[in-house]
Amino acid sequence: MNAADEAIVRATQAGLPLVTEPYKAIAASLGIEHSEVLSRLETMLADGRIRRIGAVPNHYALGYTANAMSVWDVADDAVDELGAQVGALAFVTHCYRRPRRLPEWRYNLFAMVHGRSRAETDAHVKEIRALLAPALRASDVLYSTRILKKTGLRLT
């Protein structure tokens, strides 16, 4: 990533200025052209460095208090196809394939599931289980009980 991209990331990672022409305000603060800010953001959106641009809601404020990490042991030849289907579910906010660490850890698919109650989240997990059923060997659900540290991933 070049210096101009990095400067834009630093200037916007905490949020856009809430003014009529926010990208122009960023350009002025960085001493670059308005059009350059727009084109660099467009490129980062296209290549995935930016996931999306908009409102980032607080899960808890929306009532999503039952948050679980579901983990699945899915056959290697099916995990990518099924993982994409799990990632597309509305209540799944993150879905990753990770390596197994046998014999201690057998699960290769991780899906973060959000619900407004434990019952709702359990129902979501059941939905994932049904979807994965043809290639599923084992699964587990880990509810978070305490945040021990949360600093976020930011360029400093």
Partner 1 sequence: MDELERAIVNRLQGGFPLSERPFADAARELGIDAATLITKLQAMLEAGTLTRFGPMYDAERLGGAFTLCAMSVPAADFERVAALVNAHPEVAHNYERAHRYNMWFVIAAAARAQIALLIAAIEATTGYPVLDLPREQEYFIELRLVA
DSSP letter, residue 6: H
At closest approach, how far in Å is the CB of 97 from partner 1? Answer: 4
Among 65, 75, 105, 126, binds partner 1 (CB under 8 A): 105
- The residue from 86, 125, 128, 132 that contacts partner 1 (CB under 8 A) is 86
Which residue, 117, 111, 119, is CA-closest to 139?
A: 111
Beta bridge partners of 112: 69, 94
Minimum distance between the CB of residue 117 and partner 1, rounded to whole angstroms?
15
- Separation CA 67–CA 142 (nearest Å): 9
**Restricting to residues 19-78, which ones interact with partner 1 according to CB under 8 A?**
19-24, 34, 38, 41-42, 44-45, 47-59, 61-62, 64, 69
Looking at beta carbons only, is 18 or 133 nearer to partner 1? 18
d(CA 39, CA 34): 9
